[in-house]
Each structure stands twice: as C-alpha cells, then as structure tokens.
Amino acid sequence: MEIADSDGPNSQRNVSGSLRGLFRYGSILLSYFFLIIFIPNTGVAGQWDPLIDKLAADGFGRQWLEQLFDRPEVRFDPSVMSVKMKTLYKTKFGDTSVRKLQQRLAALGYQPGGADGKRGAKTRRAIRWFQVAHGLPVDGRYSEELLQLALKDRKRAPKHVKIPSSKAGPLVYKSIMTEERLAEARKFLAANRKKFLRLERYYGIPGEIAVGVLTVETRLGAYLGEESAFLTLAGMARCDHYGCVAGAFKDQHITQRKRRWLERRTAQKAKWAYGECKALLTYAQRCDQDPLSIPGSFYGAIGIAQFMPSQALRHGVDGNGDGVVDLFVLDDALFSMGKYLMSNGWRGSMRSRRKQRRAIYNYNHSRIYVNTVMAVADHLKEGKTVFKWDETGK
C-alpha cells in the first residue's frame, strides 16, 4: 500500500499492489525506458559508499552491508526516481508539451483556457473540439501526434460544432470486475474461510472486504511484484540530488525556481526512500530473509497485502503464531491488514458503509480503489455485481 507522492505515514499505502502498479505506471515506464541505466557495481569504494555509511551509522553491520552491496545483482537504477520526480513535477508545474498544445489551440480559437501545461477540463474540452473538427477519435487526451497536427494546422476553429461531453472516469478497475477475477475471489474466500472468520473475530473486518483488498492489491497473492524491493528503495535513496534525475527533464524548460524545487523534492523523496530501505533491511533480518530475494511493487511495497516496509514494522502481526512476521504468509498478511485498518478508522464490527469506505480509503487514497474493493465485497456477499455509490465515490 504505497502512496509515494507524500512523505508522511499515508505514503505507505501502495496507488498499489504490483498488478495495479503495472496499470498505473506501465505507460510511464515505456516513456522512460531510455532512462534505465544499469551502472556496474564498483564495490564498496564506489557509488554505494554514502548509503552504506548511513546504514552503518544507523546500526547495520558494515561488513554485512558491504557484502550485500558488492553482490553482482546489485545495480544502480535511477529510473524509478526519475519517473517519480517527473510525475511530481508535472503535477506541480505542468508539462511543456501540453503547454505548447494549449498555446497553439488558443491561437486557432479552440479556447483551452490558460497555458499552464496541465490537463484541466478546459484543455480537455478544447482537445475534443479539435478532434471533432479533424475527424479524429474523440477522447480529449494529449498526444505528441495531436501536438504536431495542431502545430501544422492553419484553419481556425469551426464555430458550430457539437462537442461531446467528457465521459466520467471509471468507477471501478474494470479489469478486476470480470467473471474470471470474481470467480477467483469466490474460490479464495471459500478455501480460506476459517482464516477470514478468525480475522473478523479479532478485528471485525468481514472476509469479503479483506478478499476485496487482496484481489485489488496482488490478485490474491499471485502478483507480488517483479522487482527487488531492496534494489528499488536503495536506488531511490541513492538518488538524493537533482543530477541523478536530470535526464528525465530534457524535454522541459527548467528555470532556476523549478530547479530549486526539484533539488528540494528529490532530496525529500530520497530521504523517504532511505527510511523505507532501512525498514526493509530490518524486516529481512527479522524474517531471516535475503533482502535481495524480497519482491516488491513499483515503489517497494511488499507482501500479499502490499505494505511499505516501515508499515510492515509498525503494523506487522504474527498471525499464525510461528514467532515471525512474514507478510508473504496469508495469516500474517491478514492480521497485519486488520491492524492497519483498525489503526486507520476501522472500529470493531462496524457496518456503516460510509465508515468502512473511509477506513479503506486510508489504506489507499483512491476512490476507484475503494469502489473496487467494495464492489468485490458486495459481489462475494450478494452473489452478484452491484454498485452502491454515486459517481463521486461517496
């Protein structure tokens, strides 16, 4: 459960499990494929020294750290931090290419609003207007092809054109609300009924809702991430200055003010990642696991229920009584989820749908996420797919 857009406790919730991470970040990763730079490890005298020094100062054995970072599979990869900072930058300042399109559409009379580089309602409407005028598929989305067409266009915007209204975004993750996925959820709930009844007895969380969370997060444990959580977090922690991610901004006009912001935010995100990297190493030692063997999501969330490592330490529960908190074991994952939800608004056997939604929203700050979890739970409880919310997800 990672929300890596902030640095506080709520940044621990994963926009996602590994499968949702694929949906959310797949197109971004393709865009930044050229940024993935694998720099061979040069040993303890090389690039990892600052991180090793910090971790050693925080109590980890230096020899153990040096052996860990000197392994051949440890490579420095700045792409994750590059994607993160580019996303934060566009949210803050907009996109240079979008700004060019806005300026061109305004010159042609399509009224996109201000040229702020952000894809707001007026800009999306102007794009739909332009798409209708040129016989293009109408979706209101920016693309490089659309920008090039607009730059070449010399015709003024037609006055009497019916502009389709913007379609509301999806209420749920449609890929999850399929018969195949729902059948998996039903089978999983039935096969583990005793475990879910035990969870409800301790924390008051219905098994249907718990299955909904796991279905969205990791497809019930089937997709735990393809990357090493340690390498992801160590790489982000090492990217503690703008120079590490500067290559991602070659297509943007970076003023001195923007550069100062990037320097500050990159350092902040590196500090956040360092804390998570340190927590992951502690978790690995407690579980007697090789840190490099622990899979994680795009930003390093781990386990069946996708906890960031710091939350694994804070909310992890030994659900099966074997003396170890292992979030890749269902009993431990369920009880850890229960503790997290209880710490974030779930109160016993509460049946208020509004309060249930609020607690799940604290698990992942996404209305679509909450809608999908509740829809899966409703299906499991009522035997059919039902939708009990309005378009705002309230």
Phi then psi for 358, rounded to 5 degrees? -65, -40
6: left (phi over 0), alpha (psi -120 to 50) or beta: beta
Using the structure block, give the residue that is written with the tokens 């007026």: 122
Which of the two residues, 191 and 393, has the higher pLDDT score?
191
Q: What is the pLDDT of residue 44?
A: 40
- For residue 296, the surrounding DSSP H or E stretch is strand 295-296
| Main-chain phi, psi angles of 76, to 5 degrees | -85, 125
Strand partners, 227: 296
Per-residue pLDDT, 383: 77
Q: What's residue 385's pLDDT?
A: 59
The string of DSSP codes covering 202-242 is: HH---HHHHHHHHHHHHTTTT---SEEHHHHHHHHHH--SG
Q: In the chain, what are the domain boundaries? A: 1-39+75-94+169-394, 95-152
Q: What is the DSSP string of 89-156?
A: HHHHH--HHHHHHHHHHHHHT----S--S---HHHHHHHHHHHHHTT--------HHHHHHHHH--SP
Give pLDDT, residue 78. 96
CA-to-CA distance for 214 and 156, rounded, in angstroms? 52
On average, the pLDDT of the chain sits at 89
Which of 19-23, 35-39, 161-165, 365-369 is predicted most confidently? 365-369
Structure confidence at residue 204 (pLDDT) = 97
Q: What is the CA radius of gyration of the chain?
A: 23
Confidence at residue 8, expressed as pLDDT on a 0 to 100 scale = 36
**Long-range CB contacts (< 8 A, 24+ apart) of 373-377?**
373/209, 373/212, 373/213, 373/215, 373/216, 374/209, 374/212, 375/172, 375/177, 375/212, 376/176, 376/177, 376/182, 376/185, 376/208, 376/211, 376/212, 376/215, 376/216, 377/206, 377/208, 377/209, 377/211, 377/212
Rounded to whole angstroms, the Cα distance separating 143 from 127 reads 10
Q: Report how far residue 260's alpha carbon sits from residue 210's, in angstroms, rounded to the nearest whole number.
A: 43
Per the document, the length of the chain is 394
CA angle 128–133–135, rounded 5-degree value = 90
Confidence of residue 166 (pLDDT cuts 50, 70, 90): confident
The 10s digit of each residue's pLDDT in 114-132 is 999 999 999 999 999 999 9
Average pLDDT over residues 252-270: 98
- Are 276 and 309 in contact by the 8 Å Cβ rule? The answer is yes
C-alpha span between 249 and 257 (Å, rounded): 14
Residue % of the chain over a pLDDT of 70: 85
| Of 167 and 161, more confident | 161
Task: Give me the mean pLDDT over the 291-309 stretch.
Answer: 98
Per-residue pLDDT, 387: 54
Q: Which two tokens stand for residue 190?
A: 């039935």
pLDDT band at residue 377, thresholds of 50, 70 and 90?
Answer: very high
pLDDT digits (tens, 9 = 90+) for 224-239: 999 999 999 999 999 9
Task: Please give the structure tokens belonging to residue 58.
Answer: 């925080």
Q: What are the tokens at 259?
A: 């550069």
Question: Does residue 227 or residue 22 have the better pLDDT?
Answer: 227
Q: pTM score > 0.85 for this model?
A: no
Average pLDDT over residues 38-54: 70
**CB contact at 8 A, 319 and 332:** yes
At residue 16, the pLDDT reads 45
Q: Which of 345, 344, 385, 389 is nearest to 371 (CA)?
A: 389
Candidates 280, 317, 279, 313; CA nearest to 295 is: 280
State the Cα–Cα distance between residues 311 and 280, nearest whole angstrom: 10
Q: According to the model, what pLDDT value does residue 391 have?
A: 36
Band (pLDDT 50/70/90 cuts) for residue 394 is very low
Least trusted range by pLDDT, from 138-152, 162-176, 377-391: 377-391
State residue 353's pLDDT score.
96
Average pLDDT, integer, range 78-105: 96
- Note the pLDDT of residue 13: 46
Quick one: pLDDT at residue 393?
42
Buried b (16+ CB within 10 A) or exposed e, 226-262: ebbbbbbbbbbbbbbebebbbebbeebebeeeeeebb
Which residue has 């999850």 as its token pair? 176
Q: Answer yes or no: is pLDDT of 3 > 90.
A: no
